[in-house]
């Protein structure tokens, strides 16, 4: 496959077409979504006395609702384009990390057909697709030592959702783990600035317009955050099941991918743990964790890319099939249990081959 | 690219900004803590803050001093909720299907009548439909000790910072009230003396003018105005209020949006079941006051609805 710029554009279009098709045939969410809140935020800009967490996530609503056209169509289009962009950004990050062009293409498609991507084209009234895009984009920019651009993007991104600050904090910790104190200090300034923008937005809305978190479990930090509420609702089996379908077979690949990963990539994974724990604590954990797909997927691909191409594409197809059911909620797709089991078996086989063949370790060369 | 020194300097500056933001967050949390008790919300008045008024909402604003604020009671047992509970009674609701009546209490401990119009002007963004002037016993020019108007932030932005006052234990609602205006206290030698009669033509001219200004402001803004006189604290207070009633009737009596109601016999300040100190009412006292004024207020609300 062509990994050049023209190939990249074709891939982006192909992914967008796939996601658009899924968005078109995905059923309407049968549960209460955040649509009403986002539409009102978009129309009014500020809703005095708003007591919903989503009222603070203004950027996407302000932007989309100011554009002409039906609301649902705009949000679906945004979800499709942002997720397609996110997949491309994951591929680009793979190249920065030193993965082969072929591996980056695998990673691109795994991101495109993953749980988060499909879920957000099904339930599109959310800031998540932009976060899925910003995670790999900001990380790649930071690894290229482009802090100014990352800070600017992050500062805009936090107006959509708090996760946009996470890549900057991850990079700060990563630089510290590498004992690169100068880089850590500079990234700390970037992360702190972006977080300050987020905090300033919240304070402005609370003080000037009487916004509140309305007793949201996410704001109850001492009482277990959202994770405690979520666990009390779904129970241990439901929690385990929800967490598993998030990454599915990728969970099997990650430990073996880590064996091949470069020190830089391993440290990046370690540096992401505090942010992942924090976000899983204050958000719905099964959805929050997909924000870190930009690290999980490159690591998982390291345990795949030495397999024959047809084998990897088959794995990606089965992985997509599972996510069409659990993410996009397509009722016409076979039950996810079968595809999840099959892709997990394939991942196990890939892991065994990785152990047996011991392919060379990844080398990440950074500026 | 920034030098290392510049990065450190920027981080130090951000540290101070974070400190400031932390103080603001703590202040907001402090408001949430005290507003259900004796304190005020972020905008400086009693009760849970709601800025936005829905189309179905009819809003009643109480303005006054210590008596209206309810120095001796928590928010839940003060005049605002007592009145709102009665306005929301089922038999009243059936006459106004889909309507919601809310009561906000803009009163400030120690404030005199001269401040009422200014208070209403400041809070005009809350868009009350009905103003209930529940006057107290303070001198007209009396100002709230440690009141909200001394805050620059409040005057300019509408937000009332309280953290500093709380830490110094000098919040406006915790300062004991100044008591009854000496002009209203009975003096055996002067009560029947025309020269000392606390009428609107005599010593109470400033007070009456302030009350008239408040009523006038409310009416010109298209609101209904109910002047509710608290229980008489003395014979001179009664004389003053009778004079005020006559003055208000002369000027505003022809307006259908103006009403005057005296609590008078409904609450006896000598009854220790209603007040602990003979002046400041307790929860039962405010229940009794609300019982007395709910009908005129309800009529005023209903009138505003009909006028739309």
**CA-closest candidate to residue A320, choices A300, A304, A342, A302:** A342
Size of interface A-B (CB pairs under 8 A): 49
Instruction: Point out the least confidently predicted range of A335-339, B16-20, B126-130.
Output: A335-339
What residues does B224 pair with on adjacent strands? B130
**Minimal C-alpha gap between A252 and chain B (Å):** 41
What residues does B134 pair with on adjacent strands? B64, B228
* Mean pLDDT score across all residues of chain B: 87
Q: Give the mean model confidence (pLDDT) for residues A183-198.
A: 97
Q: Which residue has the higher pLDDT, A47 or B305?
A: A47
The tokens describing B232, both together, are 């008489």
Question: How confident is residue A107, by pLDDT bands cut at 50, 70 and 90?
Answer: very high
User: Helices A250-260 and A293-302 meet at what angle, rounded to 10?
Assistant: 70
B271 Cβ partners below 8 Å, 6+ apart? none
Q: Do B51 and A48 touch (CB under 8 A)?
A: yes
Instruction: Give the C-alpha separation, A230 to A249, whole Å.
Output: 23
Looking at residue B306, its pLDDT comes to 72
Contacts of B6 in chain A (CB under 8 A): none
What residues does B130 pair with on adjacent strands? B60, B224
Q: Give buried/exposed letters for A341-366 (b at 16+ CB in 10 A, else e).
A: ebbbebbeebbebbeeeeeeebebee
**Minimal C-alpha gap between B305 and chain A (Å):** 23
Indicate whether this model's pTM tops 0.90: no
Q: Please check the confidence at residue A34 and state whether its pLDDT lies above 60.
A: yes
Topology of domain B51-145+180-307 in CATH is Rossmann fold (3.40.50)
Looking at residue A220, its pLDDT comes to 78
Distance of CA B263 to the CA centre of its chain: 17
Strand order from edge to edge, sheet including B100-105: B100-105, B57-64, B130-134, B224-229, B258-262
Looking at residue B27, its pLDDT comes to 95
The reply to whether A163 falls in a domain is: yes
Instruction: Point out the least confidently predicted range of A126-140, A225-239, A261-275.
Output: A225-239
Q: Please check the confidence at residue A3 and state whether its pLDDT lies above 70.
A: no
Q: Do A47 and B21 touch (CB under 8 A)?
A: no
Query: By CA distance, what is B10's nearest residue in A?
Result: A189
Question: How confident is residue A198, by pLDDT bands cut at 50, 70 and 90?
Answer: very high
Contacts of A192 in chain B (CB under 8 A): 11, 14, 18
The reply to whether A367 falls in a domain is: no
Residue A254's domain spans which residues? 5-357
**CA-closest candidate to residue B123, choices B65, B30, B173, B59:** B59
Q: What angle do CA A35, A37, A42 make, to 5 degrees?
A: 95
The reply to whether A334 falls in a domain is: yes
Q: Please check the confidence at residue A323 and state whether its pLDDT lies above 60.
A: yes
H helical segments located in chain A: 5-25, 35-44, 59-65, 71-97, 101-112, 115-122, 128-143, 147-157, 166-177, 181-209, 225-247, 250-260, 263-282, 285-288, 293-302, 309-326, 336-357
Mutation target to probe the A interface, by most A beta carbons within 10 A, among B3, B7, B32 is B7
The reply to whether A45 falls in a domain is: yes
Instruction: Point out the least confidently predicted range of A64-73, A85-94, B34-43.
Output: B34-43
E strand or H helix at A187: helix A181-209
Contacts of B11 in chain A (CB under 8 A): 185, 188-189, 192
H helical segments located in A308-363: 309-326, 336-357
* Mean pLDDT score across all residues of chain A: 93
Query: By CA distance, what is A148's nearest residue in B?
Result: B1
Looking at residue B190, its pLDDT comes to 52
Instruction: Give the C-alpha separation, B235 to A226, whole Å.
Output: 61
The reply to whether A250 falls in a domain is: yes
Q: Do A189 and B14 touch (CB under 8 A)?
A: yes
Looking at residue B195, its pLDDT comes to 59
**Minimal C-alpha gap between A210 and chain B (Å):** 7
Q: What does DSSP assign to residue B31? A: H
The reply to whether A299 falls in a domain is: yes
Task: Please tell me which of the candidates B11, B24, B42 has its beta carbon nearest to residue A192.
Answer: B11
Q: What percent of chain B has pLDDT over 90?
A: 47
ipTM: 0.86
Domain ranges in chain B are 51-145+180-307
The reply to whether A197 falls in a domain is: yes
- The domain tally of chain A equals 1
Looking at residue B236, its pLDDT comes to 85
CB A62 within 8 A of CB A45: yes
Looking at residue B61, its pLDDT comes to 95
Looking at residue B197, its pLDDT comes to 77
State phi, psi for B133 to the nearest 5 degrees: -90, 105
Q: Does A155 touch chain B (CB under 8 A)?
A: no
Chain B positions with Cβ closer than 8 Å to A: 2, 4, 7-8, 10-11, 14, 17-18, 21, 24-25, 28, 42, 49-52, 157, 159
The reply to whether A272 falls in a domain is: yes
Looking at residue A1, its pLDDT comes to 46
Q: Which residue has the higher pLDDT, B235 or A84?
A: A84
């Amino acid at each position: 496959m062509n990994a050049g710029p023209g190939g990249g554009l074709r891939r982006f279009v192909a992914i967008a077409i796939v996601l658009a098709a899924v968005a078109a045939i995905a059923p309407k969410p049968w549960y209460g979504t955040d649509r009403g809140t986002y539409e009102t935020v978009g129309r009014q800009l500020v809703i005095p006395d708003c007591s919903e967490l989503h009222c603070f996530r203004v950027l996407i609503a302000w932007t989309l609702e100011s554009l002409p056209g039906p609301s649902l169509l705009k949000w679906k289009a945004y979800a499709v384009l942002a997720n397609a962009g996110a997949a491309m950004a994951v591929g680009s990050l793979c190249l920065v990390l030193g993965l082969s062009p072929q591996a980056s293409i695998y990673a691109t498609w795994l991101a495109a057909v993953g749980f988060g991507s499909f879920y957000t084209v099904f339930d599109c009234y959310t800031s998540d697709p932009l976060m899925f895009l910003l995670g790999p984009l900001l990380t790649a920019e930071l690894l290229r030592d482009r802090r100014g651009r990352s800070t600017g993007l992050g500062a805009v991104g936090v107006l959509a959702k708090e996760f946009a600050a996470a890549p900057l904090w991850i990079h700060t910790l990563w630089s510290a783990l590498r004992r690169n104190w100068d880089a850590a200090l500079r990234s700390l300034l970037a992360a702190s600035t972006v977080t300050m923008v987020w905090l300033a937005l919240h304070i402005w809305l609370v003080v000037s317009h009487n916004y509140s978190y309305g007793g949201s479990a996410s704001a109850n930090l001492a009482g277990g955050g959202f994770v405690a509420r979520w666990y009390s609702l779904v129970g241990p089996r439901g929690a385990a099941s929800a967490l598993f379908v998030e990454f599915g077979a990728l969970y099997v690949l990650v430990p073996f991918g880590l064996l091949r990963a470069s020190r830089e990539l391993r440290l990046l994974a370690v540096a992401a743990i505090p942010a992942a724990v924090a976000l899983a604590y204050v958000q719905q954990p099964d959805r929050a964790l997909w924000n870190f797909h930009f690290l999980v997927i490159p690591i998982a691909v390291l345990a795949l890319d030495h397999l024959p191409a047809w084998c990897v594409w088959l794995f990606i197809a089965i992985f997509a099939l599972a996510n069409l059911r659990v993410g996009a909620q397509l009722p016409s797709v076979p039950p996810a249990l079968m595809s999840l089991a099959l892709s997990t078996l394939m991942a196990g086989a890939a892991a065994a081959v990785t152990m047996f063949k011991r392919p060379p370790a990844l080398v990440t060369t950074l500026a | 690219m920034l030098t290392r020194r510049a990065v450190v300097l920027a981080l130090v500056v951000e540290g101070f900004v974070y400190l400031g933001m932390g103080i603001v967050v703590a202040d907001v949390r402090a408001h949430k803590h005290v507003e259900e008790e004796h304190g005020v919300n972020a905008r400086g008045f009693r009760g849970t803050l709601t800025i936005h008024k829905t189309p179905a909402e009819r809003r009643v604003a109480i303005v006054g001093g210590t008596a209206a604020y309810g120095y001796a009671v928590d928010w839940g047992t003060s005049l605002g909720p007592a009145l709102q509970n009665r306005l929301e009674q089922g038999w009243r609701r059936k006459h106004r299907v889909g309507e919601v009546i809310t009561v906000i209490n803009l009163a400030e401990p120690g404030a005199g009548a001269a401040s009422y119009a200014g208070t209403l002007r400041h809070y005009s963004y809350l868009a009350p439909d009905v103003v209930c002037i529940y006057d107290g016993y303070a001198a007209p020019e009396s100002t709230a000790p440690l009141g909200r108007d001394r805050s620059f932030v409040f005057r300019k932005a509408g937000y009332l910072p309280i953290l500093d006052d709380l830490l110094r234990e000098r919040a406006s609602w915790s300062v004991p009230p100044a008591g009854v205006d000496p002009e209203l206290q009975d003096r055996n030698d002067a009560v029947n003396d025309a020269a000392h009669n606390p009428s609107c033509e005599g010593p109470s001219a400033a007070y009456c003018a302030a009350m008239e200004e408040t009523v006038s402001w409310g009416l010109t803004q298209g609101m209904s105005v109910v002047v509710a006189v608290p229980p008489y604290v003395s014979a001179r207070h009664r004389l003053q209020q009778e004079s005020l009633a006559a003055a208000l009737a002369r000027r505003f009596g022809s307006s259908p949006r103006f009403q005057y109601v005296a609590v008078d016999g409904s609450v006896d300040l000598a009854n220790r079941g209603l007040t602990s100190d003979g002046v400041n009412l307790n929860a039962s006292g405010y229940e009794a006051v609300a019982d007395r004024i709910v009908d005129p207020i309800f009529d005023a609300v209903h009138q505003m609805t009909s006028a739309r």
